[in-house]
Amino acid sequence: MDALTILAIVFIFVVVFVALTAIKKVEPYQAAVYTMLGKYKRTLTSGLNFVAPLAARLIWVDLRTQTLDVPRQDVITKDNSPTAVDAVIYIRVVDPVKACFEIQDYKLGTIFLAQTTLRSVIGEMDLDEILFNRAVINAKLRDILDKATDPWGVKVEAVEIKEVEPVARVKAAMEEQTSAERERRAAILRADGEKKSAILTAEGGKRARILQAEGIRQSKIVEAQGERLSRILEAQGEAQKLRILSLGAAALDQKALTVLSLDTLKSVGNGQSTKIIFPFEISKLLEGAADYIGVSRKTPETTPMKYEELEKRVGKAEEVLGKIPTVFELEELEKKELLEREDAETKKIMEHARKGGIKEEEE
């Protein structure tokens, strides 16, 4: 192989190599800042791009969302509580040119800026606010960092506080405070429960006494009504008895009355009493008895009263005796009164239960 052939082969390899250096492939998640001889040319997008061979310089920029870890920072809060705080930042490059030419290292710059901003924001807040308002802190940090990194072509998408850890003595004080607060709430709940229990017990006792008194009152009312009905029926019976006796005695003559009087005297003598007191009219009773048994000097003559004459004097038997109720009528009357009393008691119990239900709803 002669020298000319060798030179041709080398030339071909050099041409191929130069051609390959002029073709650049850019991924979809990347951008390339193209400079040549110290001057910015353009930004290469995804796909195949042609640049000047050998003289082109490319700065690769990742356009995906990137995660930056902010180291733990020791911060003094507004209420002088030493606290260690760390965070994580999510950023994305929106302008590759600015990200390359406006700052030396946008990632490191964003981390340093986040550290100082984090100390500034946390130092303006109390420890309780930091613990319970992380969303507010995240939003505030994101807005500040996004505004500060905008000239760098970087957008801060989110900032999240990872951990807030007070020093040991502050943490111990917080645990004691939490324990005391829980004990206070437990004491309040116990006292409230005892109060409600006492109220319910007293209310139950009150209702029990009311029901008992109501039951006693109802029983006394029923007993009084029964006694009243009994007395009325006894009085009616006595009245009917007296009417019957008066109607029957009107037809008796003197002899019959004398016999009845002697029979009554006999029953008095058969009693268990050791003392018997006779009225002064006993002598007249004996004289009348002697007249009718023929021992007296003269036997008086009497004429029995006729029924028509008796009706003229005392009236007709139906009018004198009145309507005498039968046993069936008395039983029906008693059943009717019993049903009325049960209905009245049922209505009172329902009314009392309704009032009690209304009171419970109000409580």
**Is 202 domain-assigned?**
no
Predicted local distance difference test score (pLDDT) of residue 299: 46
Q: Per-residue confidence at 169, pLDDT binned at 50, 70, 90?
A: confident
Q: Which two tokens stand for residue 119?
A: 């100390």
Predicted local distance difference test score (pLDDT) of residue 133: 85
DSSP state of 150: G
Same domain, 117 and 79: yes
Same domain, 57 and 125: no
**Is 175 domain-assigned?**
no
Per-residue pLDDT tens digits for 327-358: 677 678 777 877 887 788 788 777 777 766 55
Predicted local distance difference test score (pLDDT) of residue 226: 80
Highest mean pLDDT: which range of 156-160, 168-172, 208-212: 156-160
Same domain, 230 and 137: no
In whole angstroms, what is the distance from residue 344 CA to residue 354 CA? 15
In whole angstroms, what is the distance from residue 96 CA to residue 32 CA? 8
In whole angstroms, what is the distance from residue 161 CA to residue 144 CA? 15
Among the residue ranges 110-119, 161-170, 212-221, 262-271, the one predicted with the least confidence is: 262-271
Q: What 3-state DSSP class applies to 39?
A: strand
Q: Per-residue confidence at 359, pLDDT binned at 50, 70, 90?
A: low
**Is 230 domain-assigned?**
yes
Total structural domains within the chain: 3
- pLDDT beyond 50 at 132: yes
Same domain, 229 and 250: yes
In whole angstroms, what is the distance from residue 63 CA to residue 95 CA? 9
Same domain, 157 and 227: no
Same domain, 348 and 226: yes
Contact 26, 49 (CB under 8 A): yes
Same domain, 16 and 85: no
Q: Which domain holds residue 107?
A: 66-166
Phi, psi of 89 (to 5 degrees): -120, 140
Measured CA angle at 327 (ends 325, 329), to 5 deg: 60
Final residue in a domain of this structure, among 166, 187, 207: 166
Per-residue pLDDT tens digits for 61-116: 888 999 999 999 888 888 888 888 999 999 999 999 999 988 989 999 999 999 99
**Is 151 domain-assigned?**
yes
CA separation (Å) from 113 to 119, 280, 340, 357?
Answer: 10, 139, 93, 68
CA separation (Å) from 17 to 6, 10, 31, 49, 192?
Answer: 17, 10, 24, 16, 89
Same domain, 286 and 350: yes
Q: Mean pLDDT across the chain, nearest whole number? A: 78
Please, where are the H alpha helices in the chain? 3-22, 96-101, 106-123, 127-132, 134-149, 168-249, 254-269, 282-292, 307-314, 317-321, 327-362
